Amino acid sequence: MEALFFKLLDMSITASYITLVIVIFRFVFKRAPKWITCFLWVLVGFRLLLPFSVESVISLAPDADISKSIIRSIAPNISVDSLQSEVVHSSGKDVISLSQASFEISNSVENFGVIRVVSFIWMIGVVLMLLYMVNSYIKTYKRVKSSMQITDNVFVCDAINTPFIFGIFRPRIYLPSSMSKDEVEYVILHERAHILRYDHFSKFIGFILLSVYWFNPIIWLAYMLLCRDIEFACDQRVIKEFSTEQRKKYTSVLLSCSIPKKMITACPLAFGEVGVKNRIKTILNFKKPAAWIIVVSLTVSAIVIVCLLTNPISESKLSLGQDEITLSPIEILYHNHLNTMSDYTPEDIPHCRVDEDNNLYHFDKYGTEWEFYSEMQKTEISDDNFQSRFLLTQNDKIGTLDSDDILSIMHNNKTVYEAYRDNGEGFISFYMLLEQNDGTFYVVYGNRDLQAASVLEDPALRNGYICLVYSAEITDFQ
């Protein structure tokens, strides 16, 4: 739960920047059609829903990853990378799981309890928000249970005093029985415009996201502005062909159906729910936006979408000529016993270090200091140098890595370096250091037995086989 909370925290920070950009857009392009602004709010929704994004050189989105700094400030002894959630592929499906190391660290670090308490409070808030939404739906359902259908999806009810849309997948329009025939005409036009725009669904998804990100006040602002822009956009859709007299009648109905201000609502989508005063002013002064305003608004919107829906291209932590880094093991994912490293355990598998000149050093249980291994070369991951080197059919191999995991590692790989060392008599060992797009590191160790390959005429032995794969993290191990 802790890793999930910090992942959502990072996502909400990115969405907050986008929200502020949209607020500026709303202010600068006041005369732009409101449906454009509503479309931009979808961008915020995508940012809050999707834990990943396409990288782009023109991205202006912040690289929000403050969870690590927060964890370090609260509990500096915690291994941050072990708290991060990782994607585990099982039967073709992605599920989020926590590294077992996070639980081991939590038992040894007293301040970790603060993180757990904060995460627990967040979860309580999510549950309370969702319970409020469910309670609102149940109360509204009971009120309209005795309504009478008058046409299609339009119902009249004695127990309500303002019209609204109720329902997610089969939305219905509910009208107070006290409304006049003239009022009903305008209200139905408005509510049907909402349904055609799927506003009832947008508001539902918006409140679900608000429930998850309730801790971020900017997300509350985004939800309130979304509800307001939905109504403005719907008004503009209805009145665009109205005469001045029709607009006056429409605003009169809007005023009569207005409801008192109250706490933010989850449901239903009411006709006079938000911003009635401003909506009336906008309706009475409405003029079709000039073509150039629409063109400029759409152009700016497209730029905003491209620049903020994508992530900046992240720099690889494994790169030539950079500062020295050390990769320490976290968990063995694959261990083939048919090799010289068959007696390695999670406690004594090698640490790896890459210096500024891209030289690889390793530190294993057989040594007392760092040993130079070989110079590393950047390469591309492929079937020949990775997938085909696994002996997954061996009964005595251990670890959770399967063919789906191997394909996932190849698909999500950002950077890979490899180093070979000739140990004599045709026996060559190799290391591969892999960095994934999500910042995960894998260390791969294997062998190539050229002499055996020649004797046995086995091309697989010539290509080599992987003996050990383990996840790793950057540390200051000395």
pLDDT tens for 264-288 read 665 566 665 667 788 888 888 888 8
Q: Give the Cβ contact number of residue 476 at 10 Å.
A: 7
pLDDT on residue 267: 58
Distance (Å, rounded) from C-alpha 298 to C-alpha 104? 52
pLDDT of the residue at 174: 92
User: What pLDDT shows up at residue 105?
Assistant: 36
The distance between the two most distant Cα atoms of the chain, rounded to a whole number of Å, is 97
Structure tokens at 210: 């608000």
Asked if 183 and 191 count as a contact pair (C-beta separation under 8 A), the reply is no
Q: Which residues of the chain have pLDDT under 50?
A: 72, 75-111, 320, 341, 396
Q: Model pTM?
A: 0.64
* 131-to-202, 209, 248 alpha-carbon distances in Å: 19, 14, 40
Which pLDDT score is estimated for 253? Answer: 85
Rounded Cα distance between 252 and 25, Å, is: 30
Give how far the C-alpha of residue 305 lies from the chain's centroid of Cα atoms, to the nearest Å.
16
pLDDT at site 118: 82
